[in-house]
C-alpha cells in the first residue's frame, strides 16, 4: 500500500499525511497495568458484548453473529464464492466449538476466520482489550492456556521460561515471540500463538487451528486442482 499523489508529487502526499494529525493517537493507548484486573474487566465486558460463535472444522454456515463475505474467485474464475478469510473487528464474546466437542469461550478484541472448501480451518483471536506490558502478556498467555486446558510444546515451554527473564521488554524494534500448544483431549486442532509488539505495548495473538491431516482433504492438493472450488458451498445463514 502506498499513499499516491496523482498530481503534485510527494509534497501533496506529505500534506495528506500531515492532515490526519488531529485525530491521530486514538489507539488502544499505552500498556495497562494489572493483568488480572484487565482479565476480569474483559470478562465482565464480555457479558454485555455481541456474541460470535463458530465450529472449528465446521461449515462456514456455523459462523453466527457475522456474515461471511462472498466475491468472485479470480483463481478458479467462479462468481459468488466465500472469501478465504473474514474478520470481526469489534470487541465481542467469542465461542469456539472444537471438533472434539469442547467449547472454548473468551473475550476477543479482534477475531479472524479462515476457510477452505467452505470449512473453517482456523480462528485467530486477540484476547485482550488493551495493550499490555511484556510480562503481563506472558502471564496472560499462560492463564489463557491453563483456562483452555492447553499445554505448550516442549520447545515452547523453554521459550516461555526465557521470556519470563526479560523483564518488561520495550516493544520498539522487537520481533514477535511465537510458540505452539496442544489442547488436552483434542486431536484435530491445536494452538499457535504469538506475543506481539506494536507501538505502545504488547498483545497476544492466539490461533485455534485445524491440524494438517484435517486440512489436507479440503485443499484439493492431490488430483483435480478444482476440487476446492467444486467442494460443497454453503451460503452463510446470516
Partner 1 sequence: MHADKDFIFATIYKDASGNVISEDHVRMDIAQWTFVGTGGEQMYAAAPLWKDARLAAAQDPSGPWQDPIDVNGQSSNSFFKSKLQGLPSSVNAQIQVTSQTYTSDSFTDNLQYNGPDPNTAESQNFAALYNGNAYLSTDDTPLTAAQEALIQNNLMLNVAHNDGATTTLTTSADKQQRQVPAQPPIQFTGLTGDVFPTGTTISGSASVAAPNPGKYRVEVSLWLNGQTIAHTPLDGQSNQAFSFTLNSPGLYTVQAYAAPPVAEITSRGQPEGSFTVLVDNTVANSPYKKAAWEALQIGGALGSQPADPVQRNRRITELYANMYNQNKNGGGDHYFKWAGMAAFVSKGVGDAMHSAGVGGALLGIADLAGVQKVPLLGSTKDVRDTISKSYDLLAEGNWDIYMDIYPTFLAYTDRNGRGIKNVQDMLNAGQIGRDLMTAWQTIDAGIRANPVNDTMLWQAVQEMAVYEQRRVLQSRIFDPNRAFWTSFVQNYGSYLTSAVPRSNAFLSVVPVGDIGSADDRIKWFTNDLFPKFQTWVANNPADINVQTLLAGGYN
- From 41, 61, 100, 174, residue interacting with partner 1 (rule: CB under 8 A): 174
CB 96 within 8 A of CB 123: yes
In the three-class reduction of DSSP (H, G, I as helix; E, B as strand; rest coil), residue 234 is classed as coil
Contact set for partner 1, span 5-44 (CB under 8 A)? 5-6, 8-11, 13-14, 16-28
Among 149, 170, 235, 238, binds partner 1 (CB under 8 A): 170
| Span from 33-41, 57-65, 99-107, 151-159 in contact with partner 1 (CB under 8 A) | 151-159
Sites for partner 1 among residues 207-226 (CB under 8 A): 207, 209-212, 215-216, 219, 221-222, 225-226
Stretch that binds partner 1, among 33-41, 48-56, 97-105, 173-181 (CB under 8 A): 173-181
DSSP state of 12: H
- C-alpha 65/C-alpha 68 separation (Å) is 10
Q: Give the range of 43-51, 53-61, 66-74, 97-105 binding partner 1 by CB under 8 A.
A: 66-74
161 binds partner 1 (CB under 8 A): no
Nearest-10 Cα torsion for 86, 92, 96, 102:
170
Q: How far is the C-alpha of 208 from the C-alpha of 96, rounded, in Å?
A: 9
Dist. CA 169–CA 97, nearest whole Å: 35
Task: Give the span between the Cα atoms of 157 and 3, in whole angstroms.
Answer: 43
For 113, list phi and psi in degrees, rounded to 5: -125, 140
- Which residue number, 148 or 203, has a Cβ lying nearer to partner 1? 203
Q: Smallest gap, in angstroms, from Cβ of residue 226 to partner 1?
A: 8
* Smallest distance from partner 1 to CB 230, Å: 12
Note whether 188 and 214 are within 8 A (CB): yes
Cβ-based neighbours of 230, under 8 Å, separated by 6 or more: 224
* Least separation in angstroms between CB 37 and partner 1: 20
Q: Applying CB under 8 A, does 178 fall inside the site for partner 1?
A: yes
Computed on alpha carbons and rounded to an integer, the radius of gyration of the chain in Å comes to 20
Site for partner 1 in 71-130 (CB under 8 A): 71-72, 74-76, 83-87, 89, 109-110, 112, 114, 116, 121-122, 124, 126
Least CB distance to partner 1 at residue 64 (A): 17
Shortest Cβ 231–partner 1 spacing (Å):
13
> Toward partner 1, which CB reaches closer, 46 or 56?
56
Q: Count Cβ atoms within 10 A of the Cβ of residue 174 and give its class: 0-12 exposed, 13-18 middle, 19 or more buried.
A: middle
Question: Which triple of cell numbers denotes residue 226?
Answer: 478444482
Q: Which stretch binds partner 1 (CB under 8 A): 45-53, 57-65, 97-105, 154-162?
A: 154-162
Amino acid at each position: 500500500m502506498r499513499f499516491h499523489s496523482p498530481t503534485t508529487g510527494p509534497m501533496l502526499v506529505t500534506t495528506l499525511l500531515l492532515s490526519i494529525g488531529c485525530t491521530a493517537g486514538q489507539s488502544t493507548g499505552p500498556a495497562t497495568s494489572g493483568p488480572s484486573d484487565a482479565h476480569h474487566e474483559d470478562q465482565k465486558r464480555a457479558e454485555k458484548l455481541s456474541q460470535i460463535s463458530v465450529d472449528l472444522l465446521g461449515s462456514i454456515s456455523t459462523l453466527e453473529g457475522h456474515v461471511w463475505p462472498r466475491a468472485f474467485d479470480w483463481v478458479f474464475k467462479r462468481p459468488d464464492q466465500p472469501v478465504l478469510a473474514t474478520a470481526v473487528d469489534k470487541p465481542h464474546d467469542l465461542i469456539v466449538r472444537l471438533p472434539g466437542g469442547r467449547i472454548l469461550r473468551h473475550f476477543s478484541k479482534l477475531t479472524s476466520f479462515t476457510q477452505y472448501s467452505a470449512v473453517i480451518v482456523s480462528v485467530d483471536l486477540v484476547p485482550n482489550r488493551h495493550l499490555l506490558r511484556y510480562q503481563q502478556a506472558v502471564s496472560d498467555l499462560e492463564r489463557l492456556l491453563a483456562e483452555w486446558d492447553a499445554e505448550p510444546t516442549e520447545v515452547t515451554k523453554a521459550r516461555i521460561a526465557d521470556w519470563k527473564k526479560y523483564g518488561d521488554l520495550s516493544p520498539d524494534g522487537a520481533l514477535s515471540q511465537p510458540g505452539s500448544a496442544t489442547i488436552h483431549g483434542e486431536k484435530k486442532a491445536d494452538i499457535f500463538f504469538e506475543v506481539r509488539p506494536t507501538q505502545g505495548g504488547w498483545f497476544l495473538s492466539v490461533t485455534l487451528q485445524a491440524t494438517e491431516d484435517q486440512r489436507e482433504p479440503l485443499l484439493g492438493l492431490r488430483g483435480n486442482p478444482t476440487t476446492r472450488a467444486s467442494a460443497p458451498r454453503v451460503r452463510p445463514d446470516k
